[in-house]
């Protein structure tokens, strides 16, 4: 594995290369490191570059080849709803595995084969499930209301997934999630402050606000 230490005043960056399992060689990794080193510059966190490339926390790699994997995630908390959290993540080069719908169906089938899991599964209320279009593509969502252990009350787990198209920078895969009943970063630790209807209304409002910014190349 090749490691690189790049000085780009006023910052420094560490480059960790791939290993042999990824079919990388020392020569290919040195070439990749040299490319990064010659295309890397410092960036103020508030700057939004206009040219194609990959943003780092305080840096930017100018690149219009689309060969770099870009993974991005963000989480939001709400002062007026301290037990709710919303997050979005995206991965441009994600592998296309089983669909969101297929994974849910398999989890349901597996749970029904184990009595203890089947009992717990029966207590989960499905509020909404199926296809949902957000901006450029059709994704899938599943909205659940779950019991808080043996205590009274419930909490929510809402999930959305858009598969995207691998290596297509205009169609990256991305997913979103909303949890309620969050305490100390653990969903379902406390009863939700929102009813099922209020949680769905919050989810729909947040999802309608999502905008994917895709630069032309």
Q: What pLDDT does residue 20 have?
A: 56
Sequence-distant (≥ 6) Cβ neighbours of residue 112 within 8 angstroms: 118, 121
Sequence-distant (≥ 6) Cβ neighbours of residue 199 within 8 angstroms: 84, 127, 143, 145, 156, 158, 178, 180, 192
Question: Do residues 200 and 121 share a domain?
Answer: yes
159: left (phi over 0), alpha (psi -120 to 50) or beta: beta
Question: Do residues 34 and 87 share a domain?
Answer: no
User: Quick one: which H or E segment has residue 37?
Assistant: helix 26-39
d(CA 184, CA 188): 10
Structural domains in the chain (count) = 2
Higher pLDDT, 215 or 132: 132
Q: Decide if 59 contacts 41 (C-beta within 8 A).
A: yes
Higher pLDDT, 120 or 59: 59
152 in any annotated domain:
yes
Question: Do residues 26 and 108 share a domain?
Answer: no
55 in any annotated domain:
yes
What tokens were used for 145? 């209301």
CA distances from 100 to 107, 171, 205 (A): 11, 17, 22
Other Cβ atoms closer than 10 A to 155: 26
Question: Do residues 151 and 191 share a domain?
Answer: yes
Tell me which range, 14-28, 104-118, 155-169, is most confidently predicted by mean pLDDT: 155-169
Summarize pLDDT for 106-119 with one digit per residue, the tens: 877 887 787 777 78
Question: Do residues 89 and 42 share a domain?
Answer: no
216 in any annotated domain:
no
118 three-class SS: helix
Residue carrying the six token digits 């989890």: 107
Q: Residue 82: which domain range?
A: 71-208
Higher pLDDT, 216 or 35: 35
Q: What pLDDT does residue 86 have?
A: 97
Summarize pLDDT for 67-111 with one digit per residue, the tens: 666 677 889 999 999 999 999 988 766 655 667 778 777 877 887
95 in any annotated domain:
yes
Q: For the chain, give the mean pLDDT.
A: 84
Q: Look up the pTM and report it.
A: 0.70
Question: Do residues 86 and 163 share a domain?
Answer: yes
């Amino acid at each position: 594995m090749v490691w690189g230490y790049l000085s780009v005043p006023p910052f420094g960056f560490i480059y960790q290369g791939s290993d042999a399992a990824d079919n990388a060689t020392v020569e290919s990794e040195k070439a990749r490191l040299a490319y990064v080193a010659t295309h890397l510059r410092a960036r103020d966190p508030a700057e939004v570059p206009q040219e194609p490339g990959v943003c780092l926390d305080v840096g930017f790699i100018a690149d219009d080849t689309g060969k770099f994997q870009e993974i991005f995630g963000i989480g939001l908390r709400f002062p007026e709803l301290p037990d709710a959290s919303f997050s979005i993540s995206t991965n441009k080069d994600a592998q296309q595995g089983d669909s969101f719908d297929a994974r849910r169906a398999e989890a349901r089938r597996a749970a029904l084969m184990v009595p203890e899991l089947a009992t717990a599964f029966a207590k989960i209320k499905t509020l909404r499930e199926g296809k949902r279009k957000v901006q450029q593509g059709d994704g899938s969502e599943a909205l659940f209301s779950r019991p808080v252990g043996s205590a009274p009350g419930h909490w929510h787990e809402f999930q959305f997934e858009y598969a995207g198209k691998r290596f297509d920078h205009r169609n990256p895969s991305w997913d979103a999630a909303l949890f309620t009943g969050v305490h100390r970063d653990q969903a379902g630790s406390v009863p939700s402050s929102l009813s099922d209807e209020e949680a769905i209304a919050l989810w729909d409002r947040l999802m309608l606000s999502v905008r994917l910014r895709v630069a032309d190349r």
